[in-house]
Structure 1
Amino acid sequence: MITAETVAVAFAMFSAIPVPQPTWNEKNMRYVLCAFPLVGVVCAAAYGLWAAVCGYWPVPEWLQAAGYCLLPVFLTGGIHLDGYADTCDALASYADAAKKQEILKDPHCGAFALIRVCSYFVAYFALCASLTMDRRTLACLGVGFVLERALSGWAVAALPIAKHTGLVHTFATAADRTTVRRILAVLALLLCAALVMVGGVAGGAMVAAALVTLWRYRHVAQTQFGGISGDLAGWFLQKTEIWMLAALVVCRIVEAGV
């Protein structure tokens, strides 16, 4: 029962998928970050289903790419994209850490958030349109969805928190942080190995992109915000997703050229 409640809390928080709404308590919150990567499994399954639909019916290529671009947003309800937009606004301010935190809390969408989100979708769409969604590619992308969430959950349990309020603080303080760090670190290592095994050089490039983005996330959070927050966690996940996708596309172009 506790395991089912933990998974339900993770999906209720990090996805738009209808699930039972258990009352949050100490027991079902302890390992909820370990269930977070399961949302990535659902995203991977949705990619596979959309690929099957596109293979069965003559779906135009641009519409196929739009489906791959939008499916992760529909399944997550845009929760991570919201954090990405807020963080882009804060970073564009070039203000001190306290002012950046105020911008993160502002419910209004600034000009830089709009510009960055539009640019993000154009880039994501173009990258999806550049790929042939064969089994190998879908496997790489699917593992990537799980890996980015494993790294995000690990960061919440491992990195300093910027403030003593908010969802990240709630999840971090409720978690068995030592156990969560260990579980997600092992999972992330296994997923990195799986990416290399499935994707070869392309999989290795995706792993490198994810780890560089994690390093950048830690640096930006500590130097510009005083620690991580929910918005920064969303920013990291979206950045990791698009950079892994870009790494895959570049490798496919190089392979085709060779």
Structure 2
Amino acid sequence: MKELLSGLPLALQFFSSIPVKATLPMTKRSITSMFAVFPFIGLLEGTLLFGLYTLLSNELHIVLLAALLVAAHLAFIGGLHLDGLTDTADAYFSYKDQAKRQQILKDPRVGAFGAMTVGVSLLMRFGIYVQLISLELSILHWLAIPILIRCGMVLYLVGTNPSKEHGMAHFFRQYFSFLPLTFIQLFILATLIVLLPVSSGPVAVLFIGIWYFKIWTRKHFGGASGDMCGAFIEGGELVVWLVLLILL
């Protein structure tokens, strides 16, 4: 457990806006630990959002509170995953070949399709938060999906070859241990189902999504990349939230 938790500062440094002002080692053990505890970032985000909801639900109108939760989500992740979703949308809807799409992914400018995708994504997240607030769900519901989608991203990255021989996806896959990471993510997902049986539906959809997204990214982009992982988290989270809300 101590070895696993040693990857938490690295996970916070890479995948959240929480400042970790330290030079951390990038070894096989530390990177494996970082991805092993990656779902803990989801736990922190879910706790933050549920805390704001609990504190302010009697003080703010549901619409304003939902908008605040969207802002808190963006602040917590620093817009990281949304950036991946934006770049992926711009590249995919260019309808170019893989090489051109790879170039578009590296372009820092936001195109029309990226902007539209961001707008739809934020609108959907706002609506989901309105629904969550109105249902007055327990903290387990707020935690389950942010944790679940990050487990899914790790499983996607473990099972998908990188799109190019450089970049973050290629770098990380060279260093982490595949079997321990897979086992830990599956254990976390199984624990979620035990604690919150209704999450079995979102978990099933998650595995279908991983399979489809792997095929889709290989066809259109040549494999996994940092942008693909960001798109998986930001877009996939909306999908599994919707599944959960439909099943409630």
After TM superposition, list the pairs within 5 Å mapping 1:29-48 onto structure 2. 29-48=31-50
Q: Residue 2 of structure 1: CA displacement?
A: 5.8
**Correspondence 1:232 to 2:232:** no
Q: Residue 28 of structure 1: CA displacement?
A: 1.9
Q: Residue 140 of structure 1: CA displacement?
A: 1.9
Q: Which runs of 4+ in 1 moved over 6 A?
A: none
1: CA distance, partners of 2:184 / 2:99: 33
2: CA distance, partners of 1:207 / 1:181: 15
2: CA distance, partners of 1:91 / 1:193: 38
SS at match of 2:25: coil
The alignment yields a C-alpha RMSD, in angstroms, of: 2.0
Normalised TM-score (structure 1): 0.87
Tell me: CA distance 1:25–1:179, structure 2 relative to 1, closer, same or farther (3 Å): same
Identity %: 25
Q: Residue 135 of structure 1: CA displacement?
A: 3.5
Q: Residue 88 of structure 1: CA displacement?
A: 0.6
1: CA distance, partners of 2:186 / 2:246: 27
How many residue pairs get matched?
A: 245
2: CA distance, partners of 1:250 / 1:187: 23
After TM superposition, list the pairs within 5 Å mapping 1:69-84 onto structure 2. 69-84=70-85
**Correspondence 1:251 to 2:225:** no
2: CA distance, partners of 1:148 / 1:39: 11
Normalised TM-score (structure 2): 0.90
Structure 1, unpaired ranges of 5+: 253-258
Deviations 1:22-63 (A, max 9, x none): 3333142232110211100101111221122124x4211111
User: Is the 1:151–1:188 contact (alpha carbons within 8 Å) kept by the matching residues of 2?
Assistant: no
Q: Which moved more, 1:229-238 or 1:138-147?
A: 138-147
After TM superposition, list the pairs within 5 Å mapping 1:60-209 onto structure 2. 60-131=61-132, 132-136=134-138, 138-195=139-196, 197=197, 200=198, 203-209=199-205
Instruction: Give the match for residue 7 of structure 2.
Output: 6
Structure 2, unpaired ranges of 5+: none
SS at match of 2:14: helix
